[in-house]
Amino acid sequence: MTVNFPPGFLWGTATAAYQVEGAPHEDGRTPSIWDTFSHTPGKTHGGDTGDTATDHYHRRADDVRLMADLGLGAYRFSVSWPRVQPTGRGHANQPGLDFYRALVDDLLDHGIRPVLTLYHWDLPQELESAGGWPERGTAHRFADYAHLVAEALGDRVEMWTTLNEPWCSAFLGYGSGVHAPGRTDDLAALRAAHHLNLAHGLGAQALRAALPSHGQVSVTLNPGVVRAFTDAPQDVDAQRRIDALATRVFTGPMLHGAYPEDLLADTASVTDWSFVHDGDPAVIKHPLDSLGINYYTPTVVAAATDAAPPGEAREPSPFPAAGGVAFHRPPGKRTAMDWSVDPTGLYDLLLRFAEEVPGLPLVVTENGAAYDDKPDGDGAVHDPERIAYLHAHLDAVRRAIADGADVLGYFLWSLLDNFEWAHGYSKRFGAVHVDYATQVRTLKSSARWYSQVARTGQLPPY
C-alpha cells in the first residue's frame, strides 16, 4: 500500500563543507583541523584528504541543478568556518562568504530551501593551536562567527543549525582521537563537550540577534540508540552510562538546563566539572525552533566481564570513565561501514524526543547508508541495498509520525559520494555516484527512487 507523508513535509539531502568543497587554499581559506589531520600520515584511509573532494566549490551550480532535477525541496549544507573567517576571529573574509551567497541564490532560484549548518567539524586550525574546543574562548569565537554568517545570509536563509553532531567533535576528536584533531584525553573530551554546548547557546543567541524574526534556530545531534545486551542489572546500568555519554551530555543542558547527575557521578574520576561556570546552563538552554536528529545504527552494550589480555593495549575509548562497559556487535544486515541496519532505532529516537520535549518539532537531518557502489558495463549504478535501507527508515519515520512525533522533514545522507572523514574515499554514502578521477556525477538507482518519493510525498510499496 502506498503511504502518504504529511503535506509540506520537507524532502532534502545533505553534505558537509570539508567533505565536498575542495579548494582548500582559494579565496583566502586557511587550514581547518581536518586539513591538518588528513595530511598527517596514518590518520586517514590511504592518506586521502579533502583537498579536491567532489570539487563542489567549482561545480556548485551544476550540483544545484542536479538537486533541482531530482525535485528536492531542501539542501542542508555547512559553511566552512576557515573559508569565511580564516583565523577563527575578526572580520569576515568576503570572497569566502561570496561562495555561500552564490550557493544560496542558486538554491532559491531553483526553488530549493537552503538549510545552513554553521559547524560541521572544520574548526580553524589557528583556534585548535590556541587550545581548541577544550578552551572556553573557542565558544565565544563561535558566537562571533555565527553572527558574521547570519548578517551575511540571514535575509535569504530561514533555517539555521548551530552544530552538527557535537558528540563526534568532542569524543571522537579529543577522546578516541579517530577524528580531527586526533587528541586522546578524557578530560579534554569532557571540556570540549561543555564548550560545544556553550558554543551552541552563545551561537543561538548571536543568531537571534542578527536574524529576521522569522529565522529558525536548531541544533543537530546524533543521539545514541543504546540497548542493553541482556536485562541483567549490570547490563542495564552499562546502557545507562553510555546513554549519558552519548546523548544526555548534550540533551541535558540543551533541552533541560542541567547536566544529568548520573553523568557527573560517573565521570567524577576524570573531572569535577568546574569548567561549567555559573550561568552556563541557562545560556545553553536556548529556545529551539526544531531539533535535528541524525541516525544510522544502534549500539549494544553490556557490563565488561574481563580486562584486556596481558600486553594487549585497548584502543582509546570515546567514552570517558566507561572502562567497565563492553560493546557488542548488533545483529542484522550490515552496510559497508559494518553498521547494522535497524530502522527501529530511528523510530525509537523520534518517539523518545517526542515524549521528552513535547511541542518541539523534529527533523531527520541525516540518515543513509554506505554500500560498495560500482558502475556496471553501461555506466549505470544500481544500489538496491540502499533503496531497501531508505524505504525501511522512511517507513520508520512514517510510523513515528502516526504515533505522535512531529517530524517536519527528512534529509538523505548524502547527495554525493564524498570524503568520508577518516575512511577517506573508501566509503560511498551518496545517492549520486562520483568518479573521483573525472568528477563525473551519475545518478544511482536510489537517487531516482528518492526523487519519486520527494516529488510525490508518497512511500511506495516495497
How big is the CA angle at 349 (ends 208 and 174), to the nearest 5 degrees? 70
Grid cell locating 438: 573525472
* 21, 64, 105, 455 from 108: Cα distances, Å: 20, 10, 5, 17
Cis peptide before 86 (omega within 30 of 0): no
Give catalytic residue positions: 165, 366
Nearby residues of 417 by Cβ (< 8 Å), 6 or more positions away? 54, 373, 425, 428, 429, 430, 432, 433, 434, 436
Q: Where are the alpha helices (DSSP H) in 4-89?
A: 17-20, 33-38, 56-69, 81-84
Between CA 344 and CA 462 the distance in angstroms is 17
How far is Cα 57 from Cα 152, in angstroms, rounded to an integer? 19
Per-residue DSSP letters for 169-225? IIIITTTS-SSTT----HHHHHHHHHHHHHHHHHHHHHHHHHS-TT-EEEEEE----
CB–CB of 32/84 below 8 Å? no
